[in-house]
Amino acid sequence: MQDRLEAYDFKHAHASPDEVWNEFHEQNRLASLVRTTFPRSSRHPLVALVTCMDARLDTNEIAGDTRRYYYVLRMAGSALDEKDEDMLELAVNNGVEVVVFTTHTDCAAEKMAKNAEQRKQYPYLAKAVDERQARFEEFMKRPGIESKINEHKLLVKWVDLDTSNERAIVHH
Ligand SMILES: [Zn+2]
C-alpha cells in the first residue's frame, strides 16, 4: 500500500487545510480497510499492565508481545486514581487474570516528589506519588478484587522495571 500522504509532507508548503484534511480522511479510509479484510481477534486480553508514562518504557517490549492482547494503563508515576481502580476492576470482570503493576528506576515523578522545591511546583503529582502505595493496597482490598485473588482467579503483581533494559524485578 502506497503512502499517499507523501505529497503533503512538510516539504510541500502549499497544501490547503482542506486538502490536508481530505488526504487524512482518505488515509483513514484505506487504513480501516485493513481491519475489514483482516479482523482483529475477538480474544479478550488476559493481562492488564500499569506503567508510568515515561517515554523510555515501551510496553510492547516489556510485554514481549506485539499482538496487543494487553490492556495498558499509563499514568504519571504509575499512580492510580479512583477511575483507574474502577477501570482495572472492570477489566478483571471482563476476563483479565493477571494485573501487572509497575514502577521503574530513574522515574522523574519519584525524583520530583523527593525534591522540596519541585514539590511546590507540582503539588498534585507529588501527592499522587506519596499515595501510590496506599492506592495499590486499596485496589487489592476492593471486594471484587480480593475475592478473586483468594479464589486464585486473579494474580496481582508489583514489579519494578529497570528503565535501562526494561527487565522486571518482582517487588511483591
Ligand atoms: Zn516514571
pLDDT, one tens digit per residue, over 125-150 is 999 999 999 999 999 999 999 999 99
Distance 163 CA to ligand 1 centre (A): 9
Give yes or no for residue 152 having a pLDDT over 80. Answer: yes
Domains identified in the chain, total number: 2
Domain that includes residue 22, residue range: 4-37
Distance 70 CA to ligand 1 centre (A): 20
Distance 57 CA to ligand 1 centre (A): 9
Distance 157 CA to ligand 1 centre (A): 18
- Structural domain includes residue 42: no
Q: What is the pTM of this model?
A: 0.76
Percent of the chain's residues with pLDDT above 90: 59
Give yes or no for residue 103 having a pLDDT over 50. Answer: yes
What's the average model confidence in pLDDT over 15-35? 85
What CATH number does the domain containing 163 carry? 3.40.1050.10
Distance 109 CA to ligand 1 centre (A): 5
- Are residue 76 and residue 129 in the same domain, yes or no? yes
Distance 120 CA to ligand 1 centre (A): 19
| Residues with CB in 5 Å of ion ligand 1 | 52, 54, 107, 109
Strand order in the sheet with 47-52: 70-75, 47-52, 98-104, 155-161, 168-170
